[in-house]
Amino acid sequence: MAGGLDDIDRRILAELGRDGRMPIRQLAETLHISRANAYARVQRLRDTNVIKGFRAEVDHVAAGMGTSAYVTVNLRQAEWRAVGERLRALPGVVHIALVGGDFDVIMLVRARDNTDLRRLVLDEIQGMPGVVNTRTLLVFEEFEPPPAASWAES
């Protein structure tokens, strides 16, 4: 469906990216379309999995997860699926990407503090069968891009 998005669909994605709780009435008014059209379009975007769901934006520091890091992982190639499933099950893992280059996987992880991060990386991840080595890049500060800005410009 991604190729079948028109300007209104992209604007819907941009608006819902900024405020996923926006009422259909307000969405319709913002985009200058009827409520029925807005509702039908959002439903179609959900039915085709363009919109996969709606989530709360959580302040990870306020939620007690004040330490963040990117962890790169090299693994035994034949075991990447099994390792990937084990990594997905770990608490604090926010994002996992299988990549090409100097390492096989990069993950964004959040932990309570450096001690919790050390336990996660050294005990949990490095101790997994199939993991060859890891490298941890501590995050000092994060900057969020404007939500869904690219959808309105496509």
End-to-end, the C-alpha distance of the chain in Å comes to 15
Region at 87 (left for phi over 0; alpha for psi -120 to 50; beta for the rest): alpha
pLDDT the model gives residue 17: 86
Look at strands 67-75 and 93-98 and give their pairing: unpaired
Task: Answer yes or no: is pLDDT of 105 > 70.
Answer: yes
pLDDT value, residue 54: 87
pLDDT averaged over every residue in the chain: 91
Task: Classify the phi-psi angles of 67: left when phi > 0, otherwise alpha if psi is within -120 to 50, otherwise beta.
Answer: beta
CA trace torsion 100, 5, 46, 33 (10° rounding): 150
| Overall size of the chain counted in residues | 154
The percentage of residues in the chain with a pLDDT greater than 70, rounded to a whole number, is 92
Lowest mean pLDDT among 33-37, 50-54, 102-106, 143-147: 143-147
Predicted pLDDT of residue 145: 72
pTM: 0.77
CA dist 105 and 83 (Å) reads 10
Residue 144: which pLDDT band, with cuts at 50, 70 and 90?
Answer: confident
